[in-house]
Amino acid sequence: MRCPHCGSFDDKVIESRTLANGDSIRRRRECIACGYRFTSYERIEEKPFMVVKRDGRRQPFDRKKLEHGIERALEKRPVSGMTIENVINEIEDQAVMAGKGAHEIPSSSLGELVLAKLHAVDKVAYIRFASVYRHFENLEEFISEVKKVEGENGQ
């Protein structure tokens, strides 16, 4: 640490204190060269978790966007708020685990995680989300997806 008074890099720590629930450390220091006392603060700087879009752009993971998409798919469906919150938490946890090493996940993988969770929770919400996510161009694609879901249910 450089002394703000004389510019020397030789100092000693006199006292350390943890601040903000362990998120940062306050250190009282004394410059060995001139005796000036000063305070430094340290905090962990986390690399943000990123989503890699189809065109290669990277954006920070936004839980609000995830919530909005899932809530829109589940709009007016008989699914409790607690269930929705659990689904969002599980998807976020799975996304972070899937992109653990690189701190990023492709948007396609994130979309598939959402589809898998919605498929398990509510088939109508699954179809709604799939129609937007997979960019259904016509009625046949929509009907095809509905038939797949019906076939899985044995109807």
Which backbone phi and psi does 65 adopt, to 5 degrees? -65, -45
Asked if residues 27 and 15 have their Cβ atoms less than 8 Å apart, the reply is yes
Question: Which helix (H) or strand (E) is 41 found in, with range?
Answer: strand 37-43
Q: What is the pLDDT along the chain (155 residues), one digit of tens a residue?
A: 899 999 999 999 999 998 877 778 999 999 999 999 999 998 877 778 889 998 989 999 898 999 999 999 998 889 888 888 889 999 988 888 888 778 899 988 898 899 899 988 888 888 888 877 776 777 777 677 777 777 776 54
The pTM for the full model equals 0.62
Residue count of the chain: 155
